[in-house]
Amino acid sequence: MDAPKANETPAGERSGHLLVRVGEQICAVPVGAVRRVVRALTVHPLPGARAELAGLAEFAGEPLPVLDLGRLIGAPIGPHPLFPVTVVVWSRTADGREAIGLAADEALEVVDLSAASWLPTAGFLVGEALVGDQVVRVLDPDQLGAG
Amino acid sequence: MIEPNRRFPDRTATEPRLLPATSGAVALLAGAAAAGVLLLALGIGLGSGVPVWPLAVFLLVAAVALAILAGRKGLLARGAGSAAGAAREPVAAEQAAARAALRELRSGDLVTAAEARPHLVPRVRSAIATAAEGLASLAEQLREVNGEMASSADGVVRMTAELASSSSELSASVAEITAAMEELARTASGISERAIAQAELAARVERRGAVGEEALVEAVGGVGEVEARIAAIAERTDALGARSKEIYRVLDLIAEIAQETHVLSLNAAIEAAAAGPEGRRIAVVAEEVRRLASRSRDSVASVRALLDEFSASIRGTVVATEEGAKETRRVLGSAEQAAAAVAELRAVGAETSARARRISAATREQDGASDEVVATLRDVGYVVERTSAALSGLDTTQRRLERLVLGVELLAQGLRRDSPTSLVHLAEGWGARIVGETEVQRALDDLLVEAPYLDDAYMADAKGYALFLGSRRRPVDAQPAAGGGAKASPEPDRDLSARPWFRAVVARGRTVLTAPYVSVNGRTCFTVAVPAFGPNGELRSVFGVDVDVHNWTRIGAAS
Amino acid sequence: MVPGSFLLFHRGGGLWGIDSGQVVRIGPGRSESAPGEAETEAGGGTLRVELAGGSAPAAGPVALAADRVEGVVAGLAVRPLSTALRTFWPEAGFGIALYSGRPVILLDPLHLPLPLVASGGPDA
């Protein structure tokens, strides 16, 4: 079972982030929030749901809502992914945490990102960082529940 | 030259010159001599070319005359003895008459000799008449025989001419044919050569065709082999394609495993991060695993790229082999067509070869045949040459014959006979007629029309100047005035005084018949010239005609 | 109070559940659509799941459109709808469960999602 982890990173410190690609965009998810990366799960769409909700999947014996990361961040659709993944993240709520799945095209690697490069923005996109010459968008899964 | 001594128109008899001899012995001797000469003449007549008939007949006449004379002398002796004195006047007249008759006979004037003379005893008269008739008949027979000879000679001439022309034509033909045969032989040998060359060519073609056919069969076989190989290649490429599909599946599997491994490494890294400092070692391992997975992914990508290339090339190969198979089938089709063409060519070549051989054989045959022909022609050529040589010999004989004919004719013409075939008789008749004419020129021209065997006719004065001239060939100038005039005319030559016949007429005072000569226009002729005398016996004019021998002998012989 | 058994049915690609006690009748729907096809248009459905009551009892009985009925299932482990789910699926429902590895949203009869309501009144 997974134990709650500390997600918050003091400013200036580098912390591990999982880089995932969606379309041509790369997102960074703090490793502390990542529960597991798995091959893309079977998603059952929910009629009447918002476009960002890809549907419902099953993970670890529990139903898992899966969000379309591309739609979430507004990334244009890229080439057909060879090995799409579902990044299962913990999202902290008022009464605990809940698992959310993020459907991405590719899981890249775990890198350390410096906090100084974050741009504070509203919503779950909390900033942008530079990895090499690639701009990555940093996610805060705790904000996902807020929409 | 025969010179019948006869003056015209006076018939004054002159004293005959009696031959001195005893009657019987002379007669016998003369007869024997005559017979001997006759025999001699017969023996060498045809060969010598010199007419001896005149001599023989003359001697015969002389013999007869002597016989008669001897008989007459006997008669005279007897008559003189029995009726001497009292019958002397009538006997002298009789003698004179007999002498005159004999003289005429001797001179060849049978017409005058046979005329009735009042003082001749019947026996003598009949004897003379018989002699004259006999001579005339002899002459006539001679002329007939001569005429036959002449026509035979004509025939010979014609035949000779024909033969000569035929033989010359034949010679020419032989030469032509020989040339043609030689040409033919050359052509034939040329054809033969070409035929042989063609046969050789055809044989080469045949061989080449055989070679070509073999080559084609080989090629066709080769093509079949190629087709089989292409099919094998196609099979293998299919197999390769199937294997590559398998490989793609395996690659996909490996790629998936690599992906899973990759994700696994990420998860490990994530756990390691959560583990804090103790998670460092896990993080390292996780990183190794990630790299491994990444290398696997790259390898898979490379292999897949290679496989794609391989598949593309295989597809290319398949396409190429299919194309190749098509091409091979096309080539095979062409090869089969070519094989058929070669077979046809061989057949044609064989036919050509056979035909060429036939031609060659035929030309060889022809060669032989033409050789034979040429040999035969050569024989003919020899024959023609010999014939030509014989003909030229015959030609010589022909000329001798012609001369003989002419000679006999002239001999016969030496006797004046009351016959249209006696030129002397005719000439004397014409002369008598024309002298009395007023238009002499026209008379001469009419005469030429009347007697086509005459070339020229003229009337000359006593000096030999041709007062009137009639010529068949040459246009005659305007007539000069009668009596002669020294008018200069370019032609013809009117001064005939130098002519032999004119001189003979002047000398002998008788009708003259010349020997044959060649005239200015190359024709053989003779001249009959008849003198005319005045009342005192002086020569007043000479009438003459040129007789064309050829024309006369044929026409004269025919009548 | 969580119902003990639910009627599970498919509609529009999703698997739904309703308190089986609320189901009055299951009958044929207004349109014939192939099973499995996601029919989200209002009113369609091969079947009608007629319920006893609706959100407005004065309105009379309510029916749900269904593509295929799974069956009546008991003993489902019901969990509350997650925040994220509620954020991105605003319709009401009082729980979510798994049935044979497949998520099921359990419907609140008082707050039925409109897309799932069958059109028209009950058949005669």
Q: Is residue C96 very low, low, confident or very high in pLDDT (cuts 50, 70, 90)? A: very high
Provide the angle, in degrees to the nearest 10, between the axes of the packed helices B23-48 and B279-413. Answer: 170
Does an interface of 3+ CB pairs under 8 Å exist between B and C? no
CB distance from C25 to chain A under 8 Å?
no
A16-132 under CATH 1.10.443.10, yes or no: no
Q: For residue B385, what are its two tokens?
A: 């040459």
Domain ranges of chain B: 177-384, 420-559
Q: Give the side-chain half-sphere CA count within 13 A for B457.
A: 24
What gap in Å lies between CA A18 and CA A138, rounded to an integer? 10
Taking only the tens of pLDDT, chain B with its 559 residues reads 444 444 444 333 443 333 443 454 455 555 555 555 554 545 444 444 445 555 556 666 666 666 666 556 655 555 445 545 455 666 777 788 878 777 777 777 777 777 767 777 777 777 777 777 777 777 777 677 667 766 766 666 666 666 667 667 666 766 776 677 677 667 666 766 776 677 677 677 667 667 666 766 776 676 677 777 777 777 877 777 787 788 888 888 888 888 888 898 899 888 888 887 888 888 888 888 888 888 888 888 888 888 788 777 767 766 776 777 777 777 777 767 776 776 777 777 677 767 777 776 776 776 666 666 666 666 666 666 766 666 666 666 667 667 766 776 777 777 777 787 888 888 988 988 888 888 888 899 999 998 888 888 989 998 888 888 888 865 544 444 444 444 444 466 788 888 888 888 888 888 888 888 887 778 888 899 999 988 888 888 999 999 888 787 665 444 4
Higher per-residue confidence, B332 vs A106? A106
Q: Is the CB of C102 less than 8 angstroms away from the CB of A67?
A: no
Q: Is the CB of A44 less than 8 angstroms away from the CB of C97?
A: no
Nearest to B406 by CA among B241, B481, B516, B528: B516
**Chains within contact range of chain A (3+ C-beta pairs < 8 Å):** B, C
CB distance from A5 to chain B under 8 Å?
yes
Best of B260, B267, B270 to substitute, by most chain A Cβ atoms within 10 angstroms, is B270
Higher per-residue confidence, B287 vs C40? B287
Collapse the DSSP code of A59 into the 3-class scheme (helix H, G, I; strand E, B; otherwise coil) and give the result: strand
Domain ranges of chain C: 5-116
- Chain B CB contacts of A107 under 8 Å are 262-263, 266
Q: pTM of the entire structure?
A: 0.46
What gap in Å lies between CA B16 and CA B25, rounded to an integer? 22
Q: For residue A143, what are its two tokens?
A: 């904000």
Per-residue model confidence (pLDDT) at position B46: 40
Nearest to A110 among B255, B256, B266 (CB): B266
Q: Is residue C99 very low, low, confident or very high in pLDDT (cuts 50, 70, 90)? A: very high
Q: Is the CB of B267 less than 8 angstroms away from the CB of A85?
A: no
- Chain B CB contacts of A18 under 8 Å are 266, 270
Mean pLDDT score of chain A, rounded to an integer?
A: 83
Per-residue model confidence (pLDDT) at position A58: 94
Nearest to B159 by CA among B492, B482, B339, B391: B391
- Chain C CB contacts of A67 under 8 Å are 84, 88
CB distance from C100 to chain A under 8 Å?
no
| In the predicted structure, residue C46 carries a pLDDT above the cut 90 | no
Best of C82, C94, C105 to substitute, by most chain A Cβ atoms within 10 angstroms, is C82
Q: Is the CB of C88 less than 8 angstroms away from the CB of A147?
A: yes
Options 1.10.10.10, 3.40.640.10, 3.40.50.720, 1.10.287.950; CATH for B177-384 is 1.10.287.950
CB distance from B298 to chain A under 8 Å?
no
Give the residue-averaged pLDDT of A52-65.
93
Name which of A39-43, B108-112, B222-226, C14-18 the model is least confident about: B222-226
- B96-to-A83, B13, B221 alpha-carbon distances in Å: 190, 9, 141
CB distance from C33 to chain A under 8 Å?
no
Q: For residue B449, what are its two tokens?
A: 């029309």
CB distance from A77 to chain C under 8 Å?
no
| Nearest chain B residue (CA) to A107 | B263
Domain ranges of chain A: 16-132
Per-residue model confidence (pLDDT) at position A35: 93
Per-residue model confidence (pLDDT) at position B365: 72
Per-residue model confidence (pLDDT) at position B402: 72
What gap in Å lies between CA B378 and CA B375, rounded to an integer? 5
Options 3.30.450.20, 1.10.287.110, 3.40.220.10, 3.20.20.450; CATH for B420-559 is 3.30.450.20
Nearest to C119 by CA among C44, C50, C8, C43: C43
